[in-house]
Homo-oligomer: A and B are copies of this chain.
Amino acid sequence: MKKLLTLAALMWIAISGLAAQTPGGTEILPGIWKFTFGTPDSITPVSIHDAPPRQEAIAALGSDGACPVIPQAEFGRRGVLLTLPLKNDELLYGLGLQLQSFQQRGKKKMLRVNADPRVDTGDSHAPVPFYVSSAGYGVLIDNARYMTFYLGSKRPEGAASDAVKVEIPRSEGVDVYVFAGPTMKEAVARYNLFAGGGTLVPRWGLGFWYRGETDFTQEQILALAEDFRANRLPCDVIGLEPHWQTASYSCSYVWRGTFPDPAAMIGTLREQGIRTNLWMHAYVHPSAPIHDALKPYSGDYRVWNGLVPDLTLPEAREIFKGWHAQATTGIGVSGFKLDECDNSDFTGNWCFPEIASFPSGADGEQMHSLFGLAIQQTIDELYRERGVRGYHLVRSSGAMAAPLPCVLYSDLYDSQVFINAVAQSGFCGLLWTPEVRDANGEEDFLRRFQAVMCSPLAMVNAWYLQMPPWKQMNREKSKRHIVDPGSPEMTDACRKWLEFRMTLIPYLHAAFVKYHETGIPPFRALVMDFPDETAAVKDIAGQYMMGDELMVAPLTATSKGTKTIYFPAGTWYDFFTGERIEGGQALTLSFPLDRMPLYVKEGAILPLAHATLSTEDPDSRILDFRVYGDDPRPTAVYEDDGGYPAQLKENQIHWDAKRARIRFQSKQYTSGKTIRIPSGQPGR
């Protein structure tokens, strides 16, 4: 009987004339097909999403009208079973943050939000029911259930065909979206544009972030900022951990007595070019002023005795935002760290159960899949309504997240896994920071520090340290305040890497503008940029493109300074030494602690800023340029008012070969020195 439903659904589509170009599906935008099977759930990632697709940018990608893969559905006691055929040589990527794996074909993944996904089963902070194929298409299954993806597994002996199977429990139907390529990069771009385009980080978001000890008082936070400035250490954001509030598990969102005048503190920090970020989560303590108002809009289970507001409802969002517009953003808070939204799976007390129910009609399972998205949307609205853009941290995300200005992080702490996640997040409209939280000695610290400098959000999270790690290395996790004095040399080494980050900001900002306008992720795996070399790069997770011109391969302490790096075809230059390397080969190279593997593509013009203490310093807009090769591509940097919607001014940068000069038409930016690196000299 259930099979009849499929037929009925297909017939309905046929009768309604929607299936114009593809049996059972309709091309809703150029190169984007929608297939509806049965009766889809009413609460899904697409249904709660509020950003419109970027129609013009999608149209610019074109379409040949042929849907690259045709899903089919069966219905039964186990719910909906989708089948999407696979060709023999297809490789699959995506499904969100899969910390233990990279290429997904042959895997089985159940997409369940989980705060501590230690095993490669699909559990994830940010599971996303979107995957891309090396054959050049992407697939989004728009559903908030814990779906199981069987990513290719042959059935009977000698079976000639293979397929992705997706099991959707507790559903009677589903919408499936297919995104054309021709390559993975365009398929991902189309998915991101369908979601509304990539987020555009304000320039300050690309500076250095530091999170203070959880019990720091107003006085200590101000002293911390003074210390940064006294040591000439760049810093754009200081984060306050849980104890700025009177209650934090669950949250009151009310300042503690240890912060007698938070508005004054925020103002003083801002005068030093430092913005304030606040830790919080969405579980609302009984003492929170919004507790009673939120009660009718909350689920039927509590977490840490706090309400779980149903933030998919506008009413709940309005109450939540209303308070913050007074207590936090209203006094100048620039962003949040949205913690604990990722389903701590171990007890009934650290998360709401799947059997919970919410006023929107969602059950606990669906809400877990949507909870991270809903809190991000709420906070994003809060800033949009103020006319400014924020940049936040969040511990859970999901489908259609590209336009949300939030970066994922986690407690888990394997260095290489954290690096791999930078590239992997790019398949699904996510951003990830391998935040530096802990380190096993100086080498480990510096290698982690280098990695985070080449990520979407450069942060040290020192919530358990009285002093910054360059003054105090933490070696024993179980004790919070072990002091193992750092050295002036460590401070100098860290300053060097912070300055390195500051110089990259114009380049990184331009990569985010591209993300915003074209959907191409600013951080992405090599396999996206070099589809002709798929065989060589298909499993390379720890090496990634940062923008269009830089290739990064961060080291970990266990690599002891040596790493085998694959150089795709073409010519590359070592960012630090200028050494020229011919691509199409893998090389094992060594790096002293003051260098890391960072390579520039021939033909790049790199705009590098003066390294100021914060992006607020006007000198941060003084640029140097590096030119790589004889015939460089034009590039651009952008002026950005940080507002919402963003007011951007594009400044094109050209190489004038005849006069050996940069052409740069901006009144705002000043060209510093211009250095051309045709063959191997150091840049600066």
* Contact among B121, B154, B348 for A345, CB-based, below 8 A: B121
Which stretch from A144-152, A320-328, A548-556 is at the chain B interface? A144-152
Residues of B within 8 A of A87 (CB): none
Residues of B within 8 A of A150 (CB): 348, 353, 355
Q: Is A120 an interface residue (CB 8 A)?
A: yes
Q: Which of A108-123 contact B (CB under 8 A)?
A: 108, 114, 116, 118-121
Which stretch from A128-136, A297-305, A509-517 is at the chain B interface? A297-305
Q: Which of A342-360 contact B (CB under 8 A)?
A: 345-349, 351, 353-355
Residues of B within 8 A of A170 (CB): 77-78, 169
A-B CB contact pairs (8 Å), 20 listed: A78-B170, A78-B355, A106-B349, A107-B347, A107-B348, A108-B345, A108-B346, A108-B351, A114-B121, A119-B346, A120-B346, A150-B353, A150-B355, A151-B348, A152-B348, A153-B301, A153-B349, A155-B300, A157-B286, A157-B305
Q: How many residues from A make CB contacts under 8 Å with B?
A: 41
Q: Is A444 an interface residue (CB 8 A)?
A: no
Residues of B within 8 A of A119 (CB): 116, 118-119, 345-346
Q: Is A626 an interface residue (CB 8 A)?
A: no
* Contact among B153, B300, B345 for A156, CB-based, below 8 A: B300
* Contact among B120, B148, B151 for A354, CB-based, below 8 A: B148
Q: Is A602 an interface residue (CB 8 A)?
A: no
Counted per complex, copies of this chain come to 2
**Contact across chains for A346 and B107 when beta carbons are under 8 A apart:** yes
Q: Is A81 an interface residue (CB 8 A)?
A: yes
Q: Is A167 an interface residue (CB 8 A)?
A: yes
Residues of B within 8 A of A346 (CB): 107-108, 119-121
Q: CB-nearest residue of chain B relative to A155?
A: B301
Q: Is A27 an interface residue (CB 8 A)?
A: no
A539 → B minimal CB distance (Å): 15
A554 → B minimal CB distance (Å): 24
Residues of B within 8 A of A345 (CB): 108, 119, 121
Q: CB-nearest residue of chain B relative to A291?
A: B157
A78–B356 CA distance with the chains assembled, in angstroms: 11
Residues of B within 8 A of A347 (CB): 106-108, 153
A320–B353 CA distance with the chains assembled, in angstroms: 43
Q: Would you give the 0/1 interface string for A153-184, flagging 1 where the beta carbon is closer than 8 Å to chain B?
A: 11111000000010101100000000000000
